[in-house]
Amino acid sequence: MLIETLSVFPEMFEPAMSTSILGRARRSGLFDFAAYDLRDWTHDRHRTVDDEPYGGGQGMLMKVEPLAEAIDDIASVGPRPHVVFFTPCGDVFDQTVAERLSHEERLLFVCGRYEGMDERAYAYADDRLSIGDYVLTGGELAAMVVTDAVVRLLPGALGDEMSNVDESFSTAPSGGLLEYAQYTRPAEFRGARVPDILLSGDHAKVDAWRRENAIERTCRWRPDLIGRADLSAPERARAEELIERFHGAASANDGEEEETVS
> Do 107 and 194 lie in a common domain?
no
Q: What is the pTM of this model?
A: 0.86
> Do 16 and 53 lie in a common domain?
yes
Task: Tell me which of 151, 178, 210 is where a domain ends.
Answer: 151
In a domain, 156, yes or no: no
- 62-93 burial, b if ≥16 CB within 10 A, otherwise e? bbbbbbbebbeebbeeeeebbbbbbbeebeeb
In a domain, 245, yes or no: yes
> Do 112 and 48 lie in a common domain?
yes
Q: Could you give the dihedral angle defined by the CA atoms of residues 114, 149, 33 and 18, in that order, rounded to the nearest 10 degrees?
A: 100
> Do 248 and 210 lie in a common domain?
yes
CATH number, residue 6: 3.40.1280.10
> Do 83 and 142 lie in a common domain?
yes
pLDDT tens-digit map of 173-215: 468 899 999 999 999 999 999 999 999 999 999 999 999 999 9
Task: Tell me which of 151, 185, 202 is where a domain ends.
Answer: 151
> Do 100 and 57 lie in a common domain?
yes
In a domain, 73, yes or no: yes
Range of the domain at 85: 2-151
CATH number, residue 217: 1.10.1270.20
In a domain, 214, yes or no: yes
Sequential pLDDT tens for the chain (262 residues): 999 999 999 999 999 999 999 999 999 999 999 999 999 999 999 999 999 999 999 899 999 999 999 999 999 999 999 999 999 999 999 999 999 999 999 999 999 999 899 999 999 999 999 999 999 999 999 999 999 999 999 999 998 654 565 566 665 446 889 999 999 999 999 999 999 999 999 999 999 999 999 999 999 999 999 999 999 999 999 999 999 999 996 544 554 444 333 3
> Do 10 and 116 lie in a common domain?
yes
Number of structural domains the chain divides into: 2
pLDDT tens-digit map of 96-109: 999 999 999 999 99
> Do 65 and 100 lie in a common domain?
yes
